[in-house]
Amino acid sequence: MDISLSGRGVRLSRLPTPDTIQVVPAPSKVRLPLRQSSGSPCIAAVEKGDEVKLGQLIAEGPAPLHAPIAGRVVGLEELPAADGSKVPVLVIEGDPSLGAVRYEADGIPLKREPELLLERIRMAGIVQAGRESLVLADMIEEAIAPRGHIAATGAALSRPVKHLVVRCLDTDPFLANLAAVTAGLAVDVSDLDLAMKVLLHITAAEQVHIVLGKRQQAATLVALAADHDWQVLRIDDDTYPAASDELLAAAASGQEPDVAWRRVDQSGTLVLDIDVVLAVVAAVRDGKPVLERTITVLRGSALRVMRACIGTSFDEIARVAGHDGVYGKVILGGPLQGLAHHTTDFPLTKASPGLTLQEQAEVVHDRNEPCISCGLCAMVCPMRLVPGMLSRYCEYGQWDDAEQAHLFTCTECGCCAFVCPAGRSMVQFMVQGKNEVLARRTA
């Protein structure tokens, strides 16, 4: 099986994966936004003045939040998030003498009921980073939720997860988190083995697919896949967005999922990042919640993969990576799908896969000249749309036309804007159009 983009997408050389993951020392003060996923925000379970241990539950919600350092809660303040909204933020000042929570380990997770395992996954607060930043437990629940019930008997109509796809390289070619984590598996794949057993136990998926780049070295992983009869999907490293959820789901299942109005995991295919899969082991075997994450720091062509506590300031992460504080643009995530933020004075969340620092000279200013109908966008669009026409519908407020032209099939990958010779801000138009259509629906 191969990913058939048939010449679509854009060619972008993937930067080499660094050999080591650099660890950012735990800071003396962390700030924890109570919204760390696309789900509803968490509700603080501690108050100002409380003392918290390392790993203690401090906020409850779809993805519960745990203290990444031991210390004292000094306040609940508000910070502007990258999307412009204000998020409540818990501030903890470190005090290592308070110690750590003893996690409830479990030596025999595979003997447990799937429901219990799923609950442990939920309690660990695992979030899959990226544009949508979904809560892992929600993704699994969506995927295995019954389609409906037989009216007479109340029996559930099951909808089995057919394909479980594990992504080992980032969708954005300028990020290297997943590749670095995969490289770290070179010696020992037992954790991954156990994680997959747990996930298969929960989802009863029929087929596992391991997604690797064609250039990616992963001998032990490939051997493990061969042992278990998992499919290894090799995709082109340098074609963006070959590793997107939608295209991987299509390649794994042999059928294109309808992505308008619904998520890929509703089509019987679950696409998970390898770091999320590994977090499952920590959750169900060790009882350990998510306290840190890998983050790619990119400046120019200098790429580093770091590991930092959530709540660490991006300023601090950039400083450890060796960058000073003068930037033109700061992007949370990769340059292709990340969100620009107006300041680096914002903490790392579970949903931040990267930090891209651009110089003033690198900052793109969209010229937004009139469309010349060159058709390049239609040539590269992985969703086979005509972005040029969609962008014009959205520009001129023809929301119904835009919706009819499959606006909601757009995944905002940005290929169209990347190639547009007229310098049109295509994704901006698409997002605006989607919001307008949604607003009209709910009105």
Site residues, another protein (CB under 8 A) = 10, 82, 246, 250, 255-260, 267, 315, 325-331, 333, 335-345, 356, 358, 362-364, 366, 369-376, 378-379, 382-386, 388-389, 406, 409, 412, 414, 417-423, 425, 427-428, 431
Structure tokens at 368: 């937004």
The CA distance from 304 to 160, in Å, is 39
The CA distance from 16 to 7, in Å, is 23
User: Least distance from C-beta 296 to another protein, angstroms?
Assistant: 14
Q: Given the complex with another protein, which of 121 and 427 has the nearer CB atom?
A: 427
Establish whether the linkage from the previous residue to 257 is cis, with ω within 30° of 0: no
Match 């539950």 to its residue by tokens.
57
Q: Which of 277, 279, 299, 298 is nearest to 287 (CA)?
A: 279
User: Least distance from C-beta 52 to another protein, angstroms?
Assistant: 30
User: Least distance from C-beta 343 to another protein, angstroms?
Assistant: 7
Q: Given the complex with another protein, which of 234 and 406 has the nearer CB atom?
A: 406
Q: Given the complex with another protein, which of 342 and 440 has the nearer CB atom?
A: 342
Q: What angle do CA 84, 90, 91 make, to 5 degrees?
A: 110
Q: Given the complex with another protein, which of 158 and 190 has the nearer CB atom?
A: 158
Structure tokens at 438: 């949604």
User: Least distance from C-beta 430 to another protein, angstroms?
Assistant: 9
Q: Is the Cβ–Cβ distance between 30 and 91 less than 8 Å? A: yes
User: Least distance from C-beta 317 to another protein, angstroms?
Assistant: 15
Q: Given the complex with another protein, which of 95 and 362 has the nearer CB atom?
A: 362
Q: Given the complex with another protein, which of 144 and 331 has the nearer CB atom?
A: 331
Number of residues written out for the chain: 443
Q: Is the Cβ–Cβ distance between 342 and 363 less than 8 Å? A: no
Q: Is the Cβ–Cβ distance between 52 and 73 less than 8 Å? A: yes
User: Least distance from C-beta 377 to another protein, angstroms?
Assistant: 8
> From the centroid of its chain, how far is CA 278?
14
User: Least distance from C-beta 238 to another protein, angstroms?
Assistant: 14
Q: Any bridge partners for residue 210, and if so which?
A: 166, 232
Q: Given the complex with another protein, which of 10 and 143 has the nearer CB atom?
A: 10
- Phi and psi, residue 442, nearest 5°: -80, -20
Structure tokens at 123: 């309690």
User: Least distance from C-beta 217 to another protein, angstroms?
Assistant: 27
Q: Given the complex with another protein, which of 77 and 369 has the nearer CB atom?
A: 369
Strand order in the sheet with 269-273: 231-235, 207-213, 163-167, 269-273
Q: Which of 206, 37, 236, 239 is nearest to 137 (CA)?
A: 37
